[in-house]
Structure 1
């Protein structure tokens, strides 16, 4: 029997592509919000004994996690065989250390909660820094769908002679493989963060690549201040054609406007989170990751 696909994401283009690729049937789920902020769920599809695939967009997670957990409880109650979660963006992974007195590693606690509610997890490029593998914090099978190949293909089609730039040392894990597949050079920026909105930038060796197109790559753009600072630095150094690429388009408040006004010629993202900047499709990578968990 085909798996049953339930979409909580609102990312209709991506979810339709994934559902088609994995051969799932579309389930009928109706969610209604009440004025007091509560919701009701009406699951019309028969789920007994079936494998259920839930796709959800977990950007701005606090308002989306509870409906997800309630749905999983309904599915358990109705004897679904298994629950597989596709969450292209996985939140809370940046909270992987006790940065200040009294704080906690919320990434670990979030993973524990998810592991209690679903049986398998597929995500795209989770922010892994101090945590090196999702299996270090999740107690369920997980799969990481890498966006690298689709990003490389986009660059090949749209950018002549790129030099790949990472916004900080942490980003080397993303930019080095991309540069390697392109057989192009890469640089890593150094940033001094004085606050969430105050970042100074230096890129050693940039002057050696005057004939190249700078392509700045990161996994997440949230406030956009770091990326904007890099765009302004590149413009100051005489690069008028710089491109910014990110996997996850969080874009808090006016972050996207900030980037488009910071001298980047293009701002490009994958379609893990719906946004007007989505130009890189990762449905194939997600579908392959799904197949790796179910076969």
Structure 2
């Protein structure tokens, strides 16, 4: 099984001061897709430049031709399905049908309280996510939608002409818990994981692989419960959050070894962070580009 290699470009550069160049270079290097985070601010980048995901992706769509584009990931923390659907349909149109929506339940970071609300509990996040995803699915596939739930509502929301991609643009659902995996099984064209966060600080790479294996097994169970075969579902690993940290980007051989171990678990796409100096995602750009150009052939 061949393994696709993608990148995530953090929206922390001004467009005319390296932002545009990164997206164009990603396509030149042959990445399958380039994603960006959909946050209002994020961790150590909070007090520096940070731009909005959808305008950034729209600009990227205008300066690239082949590479897929997307969020990794969007969440309900500051989004509403009605307005998000309109933005996604517009982005899918501008890009010529190259958009994937990475979507997750959100967390307790800065986005969780930016609109003035208290941070939701894990149950509240799961409840909202369980309502958000099916409603967004309808909004992207139906010309007019009315709905009233516990957390979201839509009244004759019009989304004509719909997505370029039919019946809608693909969802890549980030989930590890039972309710999220159920949503991935029912609505996702792909599943996303960053690994087991409890192992990041003191776990080993071997423990991480076993934890991710268990995640894929739970995904398979969730798919089976809906009558779906998980083997036909794309599985995406967003790197940088396992105990390996940045070691897979130290050399082509190190990356091929890392990616190969996860390909054996059924992953179809590995996503690496575009290097950001003086951050958790610092990496030597020359090595990063060699990985982009040389690793896919070794993993085919």
Normalised-by-shorter TM-score class: 0.3 to 0.5
TM-score (normalizing by structure 1): 0.33
Which structure shows the bigger proportion of residues in strand conformation?
1
Higher relative helix content: 2
Task: Report the TM-score when normalising by structure 2.
Answer: 0.33
Give the number of the structure whose alpha-carbon radius of gyration is greater. 1
